Amino acid sequence: MRKLANFVATLLVAGMWATSAFAHVTLERTSPPVGGSVSGSPGEVRLWFSEVVEPRFSGAEVTGPSGRVGGRASVSGNQLVIGLPQLAPGSYRVNWHVISTDTHKMEGSFTFEVRP
C-alpha cells in the first residue's frame, strides 16, 4: 500500500511540474485598462505579465490619431512601461510583444481612449 501511495504522489508532482513547464506568459493587466477610458492624458502605459519577460526581446508601441506616440518601452521584471507625451483626446492602440525568460513568445494589442 505504501508503494502505491508513493507512486501516486510521484505522478501528481510530475504532473504539476509538467503543467507549469508548458505555461505561457500572459498579459495580466494594464494601465490604462484594456478597452477602458481615462480622463486626461496618462503619463505612461504599463503592462503586467504573468512571468518575468526578457528586456532585449520585448517591446511595445502606442499609436493614435496622429500616428506613433510614446517613447521606447522599458522592462523591469514582469512589467513593460512606455512613457507618453501629452496625448490629445482620442483612441489609442498598444501593440506589444514579449519573450518570457523560458523563451515563449507572445504578442497582442489593446485599445484605450483618452477623454477630455
Provide the whole-model pTM: 0.78
Tell me, letter by letter, the H, E, C secondary structure of 49-89. Answer: ECCCECHHHCEEEEEECCEEECCCEEEECCEEEEECCCCCC
* Per-residue pLDDT, 12: 42
* Residue 4 confidence class, pLDDT cut points 50, 70, 90: low
Q: Tell me which of 54-58, 68-72, 79-83 is least confident.
A: 68-72
* Per-residue pLDDT, 1: 64
* Per-residue pLDDT, 68: 93
CATH top class, domain 25-115: mainly beta
HSE toward the beta carbon, residue 17, CA cutoff 13 A: 6
